[in-house]
């Protein structure tokens, strides 16, 4: 069996005296999809930032693509895409130019019009800073298509989108999974997001409280909020 694409052992991150994430054990193999759930402040964003190498762990070990981030940042970052609450866009450039730059840096053909059409945007000369929040989120998804990554990390994919945008996200995530891309997404919309993934991880105050099939994620969430962890939970202390 091939080595996990994402492998974390005792992964922890502290900010000052507060542990934002503690003792996460995680293995995700190529082509798998994982949903990370939890309340605000549960550690979802911290976990994704660690996996994206945007933050370094305080304790524990992390390997991505079989590599340790401290010695292979460029190699790792060139193979993943990370969509955050505030996507990094070239504000003074058009949407098309944003995508062309990504394609050029990655040595890929320019299909900017196709990528924009896929997310419901049209090529426009206006700079991105004039875009609405929803349009910017759509462009951020188009950037993922332009990067053609092996690993996609998405933090709250439905934020700032209307119902039509929700359906767009569902379709894009399913397409990525069908293409064999490894997808890890964090969302508080548990019932909806659980339909897109195979597995789920529930975080509570930075600590893993449950992991299992994504189809059981809604029940695990409900049980936790009733004051107890599921009987089959994998406690992390």
Q: Read off the CATH number of the domain in which 190 is found.
A: 3.40.50.300
Q: What is the mean pLDDT of residues 142-154?
A: 95
Domain assignment present for 195: yes
Listed residues 126, 146, 166: the one ending a domain: 146
Predicted local confidence at residue 1, as pLDDT: 65
Residue 87 confidence (pLDDT): 81
Is residue 44 included in any domain, yes or no? yes
85 in any annotated domain? no
Q: Residue range 23-39: average pLDDT?
A: 96
Q: Does the residue 8 lie in any domain?
A: yes
Tens digit of each residue's pLDDT (9 = 90 or more) over 192-232: 999 999 999 999 999 999 999 999 999 998 988 776 444 43
Res. 143 pLDDT band, cuts 50 70 90: very high
pLDDT value at position 71?
86
Q: Determine the 3-state secondary structure of 169 from DSSP.
A: helix
Residue where one domain finishes, among candidates 146, 165, 183 = 146
Do 161 and 66 fall into the same domain?
A: yes
Looking at the structure, tell me whether residues 209 and 97 fall in a common domain: no
Query: CA angle 215-195-224, nearest 5°?
Result: 45
Same domain assignment for residues 154 and 221:
yes
Residue ranges making up the domain that contains 108: 91-146
pLDDT score at 3: 76
CA 161 to chain centre: 16
Q: Residues for the chain: how many in total?
A: 237
Question: Is the model's pLDDT at 106 over the cut of 90?
Answer: no
> Could you tell me the strand order of the sheet in which 18-28 lies?
18-28, 6-15, 59-64
What per-residue confidence (pLDDT) applies to 237? 31
Q: What percent of the chain has pLDDT over 70?
A: 95
Is the same domain home to 53 and 101?
no
219 shares its domain with 133: no
Which of 148, 146, 138 has its CA nearest to residue 179? Answer: 148
Q: Do 218 and 138 reside in the same domain of the chain?
A: no
pLDDT tens-digit readout, 111-136: 999 999 999 999 999 999 999 999 99
Span 81-98, mean pLDDT? 92
Quick one: 162 and 70 in the same domain? yes
Closest CA to 173 of 109, 99, 92, 81: 81
Same domain, residue pair 155 and 135: no
Which has more pLDDT, 61 or 231? 61
Residues 63 and 121 in one domain: no
Q: Is residue 153 located within the same domain as residue 232?
A: yes
Number of structural domains found in the chain: 2
- 224 to each of 153, 175, 221, 237, how far by Cα in Å? 25, 31, 5, 15
Rg of the chain in Å (alpha carbons): 18
How far is the C-alpha of 168 from the C-alpha of 185, rounded, in Å?
15
The model's pLDDT over 152-163, given as tens digits with 9 standing for 90+, comes to 999 999 988 999
Is residue 86 within 8 Å of residue 139, measured between CB atoms?
no
Does residue 40 belong to any structural domain of this protein? yes
Check whether residue 37 and residue 9 sit in a common domain: yes
Would 84 be classed as within a structural domain? no
Please check the confidence at residue 236 and state whether its pLDDT lies above 50. no
- The tokens describing 91, both together, are 């504000």
* Rounded CA separation 166/114 (Å): 20
Among 146, 168, 190, the domain-final residue is 146
- Residue 86 falls inside a structural domain: no
For residue 67, the 8-state DSSP code is B
Residues 186 and 213 in one domain: yes
What is the model's pLDDT at position 231?
40
Q: Is 27 within the bounds of a domain?
A: yes
Number of H helices, E strands in the chain: 8, 9
């Amino acid at each position: 069996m091939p080595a996990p694409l994402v492998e974390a052992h005792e992964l922890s991150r502290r900010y000052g005296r507060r542990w934002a994430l503690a003792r996460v054990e995680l293995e995700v193999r190529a082509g798998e999809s994982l949903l990370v759930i939890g309340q605000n402040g549960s550690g979802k964003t911290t976990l994704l930032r660690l996996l994206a190498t945007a933050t370094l762990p305080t304790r524990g070990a992390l390997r991505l693509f079989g590599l340790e981030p401290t010695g292979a940042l460029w190699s790792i970052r060139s193979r993943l895409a990370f969509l955050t609450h505030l996507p990094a866009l070239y504000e003074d450039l058009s949407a098309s130019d944003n995508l062309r730059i990504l394609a050029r840096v990655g040595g890929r053909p320019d299909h900017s019009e196709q990528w924009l059409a896929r997310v419901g945007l049209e090529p426009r000369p206006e700079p991105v800073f004039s875009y609405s929040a929803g349009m910017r989120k759509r462009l951020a998804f188009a950037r993922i298509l332009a990067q053609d990554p092996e690993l996609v990390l998405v933090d709250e994919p439905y934020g700032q989108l209307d119902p039509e945008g929700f359906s767009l996200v569902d379709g894009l995530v399913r397409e990525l999974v069908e293409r064999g891309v490894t997808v890890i997404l964090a969302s508080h919309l548990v019932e909806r997001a659980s339909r897109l993934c195979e597995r789920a991880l529930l975080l509570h105050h930075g600590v893993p409280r449950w992991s299992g099939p994504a189809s059981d994620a809604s029940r695990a969430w409900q049980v936790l909020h009733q004051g107890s962890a599921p009987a089959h939970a994998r406690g992390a202390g």
